[in-house]
Structure 1
Amino acid sequence: MPQLPAPAYPADVLARLGADAKEVIARYPGSRSALLPLLHLVQSEEGYVSRTGMAFCADQLGLTTAEVTAVATFYSMYRRRPSGDYQVGVCTNTLCAVMGGDAIFDRLKDHLGVGNDETTDDGKITLEHIECNAACDFAPVVMVNWEFFDNQTPESATKLVDDLIAGRTVEPTRGAPLCSYKETARILAGFPDQRPGAVEATGGAGAASLVGLKLARGEGVTAARVVGPRGESPQDSVTHDPSPTEHLSSHDAPQQTSASDPANPAGPTAEEGE
């Protein structure tokens, strides 16, 4: 049975999106290159990339709907069905998982009553597990509409989603202020970020990322956070000031095993012990 044509946007919406699309397409020497930002543009209208949105993109760029669908279904940042005002992503890639990301994700599933890629009944929260977001020195990381919430625990993540549902102000750990998923999509389409303080917002490498650089320069290193077993609070550590001739490595650590996995000790290899 042939699929029915996608419904069109209302005339006023079509005119507004058409003007925006024209601005986006003009940025590129080839119109086809504008497909990714145009998908963000239609996502900013409905909160997801609908059949209507894909038909709009195809019409604007002279593509088939199959060509647009192939791109929209490839990238995970494009939602294919209605989602919440806040996209809450819990990193469950290797380091974040070891540091407690799995525990956070399980807690939020139970607390919100949803599974992966599902939305709460009130339409506020869509929960999903996400891949690495290059913030391993802040693990475990939770992202809300692509803004960072670092060094999370099951308790802090639970409070975070409760605040979002209640409409309380939530401040990301770093970067720009939080906004709705639709507003985020419009920014990703390439339109000016109107959030107060967004231009001044900055991010940067965390202290853990800079340890190697400091050691290479012969500088003293302060480890402000030591990983404890999952579920326990991090412990403060002691400042270590290596001498110029001292070369620290993972084998200089006082522990013989990862604190997060005591059942699998990992001491020096046989060659290193000889």
Structure 2
Amino acid sequence: MTEGKRVRRGPFRAGEDILLISPKGEEHLITLTPGKAFGTHKGNLPHDDLIGKEDGGRAWTAMGSEYRAFRPTYMQFIMNQKRHAQIIYPKDTGAILMWADIFPGAAVVEAGIGWGALTIKLLEAVGPTGKVVSYEVREDFAESGAGTVRRYLGACENHEVKVRDIHLGIDEREVDRIVLDLPEPWQAVPHAREALAPGGIVLSYLPSTIQVKQLCDRYMEEGGFAEPETFEVILRPWHVKGNSVRPVQWMFSHSAFLVVTRKITTTPDPGGR
């Protein structure tokens, strides 16, 4: 994996994505461009005033409105982009990486790539010795998802995008992990069984209970998989200010169910059991 646009330390550089936070806490993701300005109702903030500043520094508009400038976290980068494809939300991304057990050096197949949010974390988790192959049936999603990955990580030699319907088959063999963000993942179950190495994990991301039921039934019908585990992730933020400590009035509740299972071997029992 080559170094991309994301810089970890040092002064802000031209061409880098940074996050501006207004006095009211509003977040704005911008790409620093010499000669350009970020416009506000209290005057412009020239990008040249930001280039060379340290992470977490302050900058002022022409009318004196103060902004904070930070390098965006992964969550801020993903949530502040303009996008035309649905994403896997950061609250679920961590659970996917843990329950699918994505490890350095792993060979991972995913479908579909969508906006590329999960792909970024899969690539970071497998590292330069691993590989991620993204199947995407829509060419526009394949292009936008790959573009998001390049924008965040730069060129990744260990990332391959295939404009293909994974329901028709998986080319790869001895794959360690498969992650499916598809409306009908049960159609890919027999292909996943063929592609996975023994003990390999397949994880599906599904919004409805009907989809979960169809997928779990298919695993039982096809055989070759352990009993799947199903759960959802609920995030409940809290407000802590002075003596006021309470849950906020909103919460990240249901986004999707995660269904996880493993490939099992079907060697005949020598005892006839």
TM-score if structure 1 supplies the norm length? Answer: 0.30
Question: Larger strand proportion, structure 1 or 2?
Answer: 2
TM-score if structure 2 supplies the norm length? Answer: 0.30
